Amino acid sequence: MTRLRWCGGIVKIWRDDGLPKDVPMQITESNLAYDTAAQYMQPFGALWLADYAGSFLTVCGKALFYYQ
Partner 1 sequence: MYRGCGGWGTFGMFNVDANYDVTQDTAQFFSAQMLTQEWVDPVDESHFVYPASTDIKDSHGHVLVTAYSVRRPDKQWSLLLVNKDQANLHSVVVEFHDSAKHSNHYFQGTIRQVSFGGGQLCLACEGTERICPSGWSGGDLRSERG
Sign of the CA dihedral with 1 first, then 34, 56, and 54 last: negative
Residue nearer to partner 1 on the CB measure, 26 or 31: 31
* Residues whose CB falls within 8 Å of the CB of residue 11, separated by 6 or more in sequence, listed in order: 25, 59, 60, 61
Where in 27-66 is the site for partner 1 (CB under 8 A)?
31-35, 38, 40-47, 49-51, 53-55, 57-58, 66
Residue nearer to partner 1 on the CB measure, 17 or 21: 21
Cα separation, 27 vs 30, whole angstroms = 7
Contact residues for partner 1 (CB under 8 A)? 2-4, 31-35, 38, 40-47, 49-51, 53-55, 57-58, 66-68
